[in-house]
Amino acid sequence: MKKTLHIIALAALLALGGCFNLDEEWYSEVTPDTFFQSKEDVYSVFYRPFTHAFWYEGLDRWYLQEYVADQFVQPQRGNDWYDGGRWFRLHYHTWTDDDEPIWQTWRGTGMGISLTTECQRDLAALDYESLGLTEEDKVFHQNQLNTLIAYFYLRALDYFGAFPIMEDPLKEIEYRSTDKKVFAKVEEMLLEALQNTPMATAEDSKIIGMSRGTAAALLARLYFNAEAYIGEGRWEECSRICQDFLDGKYGYYQLGGSWKDPHSLTNKDSKAVIWAHPSQMNYIQYNWWFRYTHHKNMVAWFGIDNVSAYNGHGLTPSLKPDGTPYTEYRLGSTYAKFNDQDLRKCQYRYNGGTDYEGMFLVGDQVTSDGMKIKGNKEYNNKTLSFVDYVARMSEKPYNTPASAMSSTMADGEENSCIRPVKVPVASDNQYRWSSYMVVIRLEEIYYMLAECKMRSGDKEEAARLINRVRSRAFEGGKDPDPVTAVNLDKWRMLDEWGIEFLAEGRRRTDLIRWGVFTTEAWWDHVPSDPSRNRFPVPTLAISGNNNLAKDPQ
């Protein structure tokens, strides 16, 4: 009996020793402690915030710049795109604190700041030399990440004004900060990065990552909008940076000869691109806009696959349902703002290789082999034809004149609105989605400088700078309606911004800088309230941190 007990006791002891191990064991994921084995691993971590930045450029952030402004509309199309009135509210400037695009923008911005900061901390703790890199690499990396953080804060300032500033990643944010503090934070980080970031040299990679040119361009953007951000004009500083840019002080940048250059299928070789995200079929593909712009049956027109299409937004109409143009508004009428001789103002076509023409889908959609693309809603089995008005013509009683048809956000059909093809779509696999996603390009420096010159009274120089860019869109550079010191005013300046930078996610910022965002009407939009120049703190953000409910301090 005693022996038995001894055996049991011994066995139990052994068992207890071995079987109280509660360690987690991981297989598909790794802890940062064991991750870094080579310099490739450093790059793997360094570029993670950049894939976030790539995602950040599209969708909700873009909606908040374009759907609320005068160039784009997302109308209800029958049963589709009502979405509980979400797009109506953006268009009419009646958005609420709960609206999804605002929350997605807030959280995407906050995540950009946190994710980049975490990455910066992890890399700062590494011994670069033991991983086959140098201390200079480390400084460069840290400063690039600083520029990226500054970029997210700059966007936060633009959307929300007083965005909370993270001083210590381990502490909760205690207050919302102020516009001025965010401005100062961005300025400080960019100035520091400007000192410590080398100029881009290697042609292939100069537009990926944050070069000195990127930091400078962002700083110019900050000063350019300073009046709107903090009520204090910093035109001089903006002007100086832009001039330095054109003088080659931040790297060798040069305008391309064609209007296609910055967005072409080979734009990674463009000398005008300052910062871009890479894109290539089957890797990261810059094509989020495709599904929100195009009709699903147009996939066959483009000759591509593996892409869904939801037939969403288009250009703000230039015409009333009866075909007469809108003359009562200075904004909107997007398609009409393009000169009829503008090479961009025609049906987009892909001609094989890297060749294409036009920038819009207009009228009947028939492929080059004569295949008619059919509708599947109001124009079921009828040839799809994109029109420059919004009205439910499919339901028009025969004795009602078209002029009596209503044209509002609720009156879209599947064929309503002209569709832009800002970035070329190639059916050739080699070039499909090969246009890099451009965030900053040299044309913006030209236009910023032009606007600064115009504001300081030098309209001649302003017109020269704009025409330098604009003339590329005309056959032989022969512009029938160039900008002149006489015709250049606020409205012409805004039109020029809109034409060159159509669909590049900046329209709202331009309208606010000119003070017309909430005071003007266009198409179905009436003036709103000055408070609409900024987006509110989303309810979900407040529920995550109640301090954000309080006034900025």
Interaction residues for other proteins, span 203-222 (CB under 8 A): 204-205, 208
Give me the sign of the Cα torsion angle 118, 119, 120, 124: positive
Q: Which of residues 464-503 bind other proteins (CB under 8 A)?
A: none
Q: Is 273 helix (H, G, I), strand (E, B) or coil?
A: strand
Q: Which of 254, 380, 400, 553 binds other proteins (CB under 8 A)?
A: 380
Stretch that binds other proteins, among 29-37, 229-237, 259-267, 362-370 (CB under 8 A): 29-37
CB nearer to other proteins: pick between 299 and 469:
299
Q: Write the burial class of residue 130 (CB in 10 Å: 0-12 exposed, 13-18 middle, 19+ buried).
A: exposed
Sequence-separated (6 or more) residues with CB below 8 Å from residue 499: 337, 338, 342, 470
What is the spatial distance between Cα 11 and Cα 271, in angstroms, rounded to a whole number? 76
Report, in Å, the least distance between residue 329 CB and other proteins.
Answer: 22
Q: Which of 126, 284, 366, 393 binds other proteins (CB under 8 A)?
A: 284
Sequence-separated (6 or more) residues with CB below 8 Å from residue 149: 112, 113, 116, 117, 120, 189
What is the spatial distance between Cα 127 and Cα 135, in angstroms, rounded to a whole number? 9
Three-state SS string over 128-164 comes to HHHHCCCHHHHHHHHHHHHHHHHHHHHHHHHHHCCCC
Contact between 295 and 379 under an 8 Å Cβ cutoff? The reply is no
Report, in Å, the least distance between residue 427 CB and other proteins.
Answer: 10
Q: Which of residues 321-340 bind other proteins (CB under 8 A)?
A: none
Report, in Å, the least distance between residue 357 CB and other proteins.
Answer: 24
Q: Does 529 bind other proteins (CB under 8 A)?
A: no
Q: Does 19 bind other proteins (CB under 8 A)?
A: yes
Report, in Å, the least distance between residue 513 CB and other proteins.
Answer: 27
Maximum Cα–Cα distance for the chain, whole Å?
Answer: 113
What is the spatial distance between Cα 497 and Cα 512, in angstroms, rounded to a whole number? 13
Amino acid, single-letter form, for residue 278: P
CB nearer to other proteins: pick between 110 and 262:
110
Q: Which of residues 220-279 bind other proteins (CB under 8 A)?
A: 278
Q: Which of residues 406-425 bind other proteins (CB under 8 A)?
A: 410
Q: Does 296 bind other proteins (CB under 8 A)?
A: yes
Q: Which of 374, 396, 464, 532 binds other proteins (CB under 8 A)?
A: 374
Binding string to other proteins for residues 42 to 81, with x set by CB under 8 A, is what?
A: -xxx-xxxxxx-xx--------------------x-xxxx
DSSP states along 500-538: HTTTSS-HHHHHHHTT-TTT--BTTB----GGGGSPPPP
Q: Shortest CA distance to 469 belongs to which of 509, 510, 499, 489?
A: 499
Contact between 507 and 71 under an 8 Å Cβ cutoff? The reply is yes
Q: Does 385 bind other proteins (CB under 8 A)?
A: no
Report, in Å, the least distance between residue 55 CB and other proteins.
Answer: 7
Q: Does 383 bind other proteins (CB under 8 A)?
A: no
Q: Which of residues 82-111 bind other proteins (CB under 8 A)?
A: 82-86, 88, 96-98, 106-107, 110-111
- Supply φ then ψ for residue 536, to 5 degrees: -75, 165
Report, in Å, the least distance between residue 162 CB and other proteins.
Answer: 14
CB nearer to other proteins: pick between 243 and 539:
539
Report, in Å, the least distance between residue 259 CB and other proteins.
Answer: 26
CB nearer to other proteins: pick between 485 and 540:
540
CB nearer to other proteins: pick between 169 and 325:
169
> How many chain residues are in contact with other proteins, going by CB under 8 A?
100
Q: Shortest CA distance to 360 belongs to which of 457, 284, 438, 425?
A: 425
Q: Which of 132, 160, 164, 412 binds other proteins (CB under 8 A)?
A: 164
